[in-house]
């Protein structure tokens, strides 16, 4: 298991973290969460509008690795 962190390359949008076996599983898990909680009338809410683009940077962590999010 690894920790997958999807973090925006700026401010204003949420970061998402999940523990999964693969990057594909992690993306599907977070995407399902976003679809359930942040999609209104077919549009992504402001807080996640960069989801699914290169605006979100992925960090994959093993045990003992620290992730920092500066939340500009």
Rg (CA), the chain: 12
Question: Collapsing DSSP states into helix, strand and coil, what is residue 72?
Answer: coil
Global pTM reads 0.87
- The pLDDT assigned to 69 comes to 76
* pLDDT per residue as tens digits for the range 3-55: 999 999 877 789 999 999 999 999 999 999 999 999 999 899 999 999 999 99
- The pLDDT assigned to 72 comes to 61
Q: How confident is the model at residue 57 (pLDDT cuts 50, 70, 90)?
A: very high
- More reliable by pLDDT, 12 or 61: 61
Alpha carbon separation from 27 to 19, 21, 72 (Å, rounded): 11, 11, 24
Structure tokens at 35: 């679809």
Whether 45 and 38 have beta carbons less than 8 Å apart is answered as: yes
């Amino acid at each position: 298991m690894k920790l997958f962190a999807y973090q925006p390359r700026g401010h204003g949008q949420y970061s998402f973290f999940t523990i999964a076996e693969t990057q594909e599983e992690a993306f599907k898990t977070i995407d399902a969460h976003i679809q359930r909680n942040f999609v209104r009338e077919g549009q992504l809410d402001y807080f996640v509008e960069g989801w699914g683009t290169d605006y979100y940077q992925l960090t994959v962590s093993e045990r003992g690795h620290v992730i920092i999010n500066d939340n500009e």
